[in-house]
Amino acid sequence: MDTPIFEKKNVLVTGGAGFIGSHLCERLLKDSKVICIDDFSNSNPQNITHLLQYPDFEFINCDVAQPIDLDKFEELNKFKVKFQGIQEIYHLACPTSPKDFERFKMKSLTANSSAMLNTLDLAVQYHAKYVFASSSVVYGNASETKWSFKETDQGVVDHLSSRACYDEGKRFAETCVETYRQVHGVDAKIARIFTTYGPRMRLFQGLLIPDFVVSAIEGKDLVIYGDENMSMSLCYISDMITGLTKLMASDPEVKIINLGDEKIIKLSEVAQMIIQMTNSNSKITFENPLVFLTTKGAPDLVYVKDVLGWMPLTRLEDGLEKTIEYVVANKEALLFNHKN
């Protein structure tokens, strides 16, 4: 006997093999059927290997910047997409590597433009709810006088800078979401994501936390791309995933929320914590900032606490401990994937 068509939702996740995407797919599998789309241009197949065993999970190797026709994928027949459609779409696909930023400029541009239109068109086609993973970069750089940002704040971004394909790209992408709300009535939402960390972050991409851990384990210098005042907020991955799923479940009038930790901490303090937690003799050194690394502030969480009842719950010490455990357990595989 066939499973009733609406026993479980069909949920589509673009960038599902990435750091945040793979954790999201894992969480969604608890009560949904998950279609993960990724082209592995900036993600790791190992992130989803453990999910392939589940009948409610299907991976499709596809670039969402190209037109998407789900009917042509026979592997989705088991999800009865032709009859049931898609109920929810999370669009996370976008390169986030500071080290490889130059190489992925066109990918960033298309992820924030043609991929937006393609995924939003799917939301129109299937009458699906839609969540877009935007970024805190839309607020512009933080300063001594402005370091906390509300959803109503309007940032200033140089739309012709060397990193505008990402910064201005995210702003244009948000415009796409709002336009589809206005024109097509799509229940589309924007999550402005602040710095997130945890297991499955890629090594040596300038993402700092996993690099710190590897360097500390190997007794090498922990490199901060900036000076001793370099600071940011840090949200643990499980809290971020809870925020994204709560946003998807929210009422249509909830359109834009901040997701991140409202506390700012110096990266030198984080590095020192990792050195102590790994019993390392490593030193902390400073180098010139990478193009993709900006002076990020912290989110004002008043609105999201009110409408979603969400706030980050994981202590930094606990999150770092889990991240260290993951890197230690997977260091050889992570280093192998980095070299290849």
Sort residue 312 into left (φ over 0), alpha (ψ -120 to 50) or beta.
Answer: beta
Spatial contact of 281 and 242, defined as CB atoms under 8 Å apart: no
Helix axis angle, 209-218 relative to 316-339, nearest 10°? 80
> Cα–Cα–Cα angle for 251, 300, 18, nearest 5°?
70
* 327, 329, 332, 337: CA torsion to nearest 10: -60
- How far apart CA 291 and CA 104 sit, in angstroms, is 13
Of the candidates 132, 133, 66, the one whose C-alpha atom is nearest the C-alpha of residue 96 is 133
- How far apart CA 301 and CA 299 sit, in angstroms, is 6
Write out the two tokens for 94.
């976008």
Encoded amino acid at 264, one letter: I
Q: Is 166 a catalytic residue?
A: yes
Catalytic residue chosen out of the listed positions 126, 139, 166, 236: 166
Residue 261: helix, strand or coil by DSSP?
A: coil
Write out the two tokens for 243.
């925020």
Of the candidates 203, 176, 160, 165, the one whose C-alpha atom is nearest the C-alpha of residue 119 is 176
Q: Among all chains, which residue has been given the structure tokens 């939003």?
A: 120
Of the candidates 151, 284, 150, 168, the one whose C-alpha atom is nearest the C-alpha of residue 230 is 284
> Cα–Cα–Cα angle for 24, 26, 29, nearest 5°?
105
Bridge-based pairing of strands 188-193 and 129-135 is parallel
> Cα–Cα–Cα angle for 34, 35, 39, nearest 5°?
135
Q: Which residues are catalytic?
A: 166
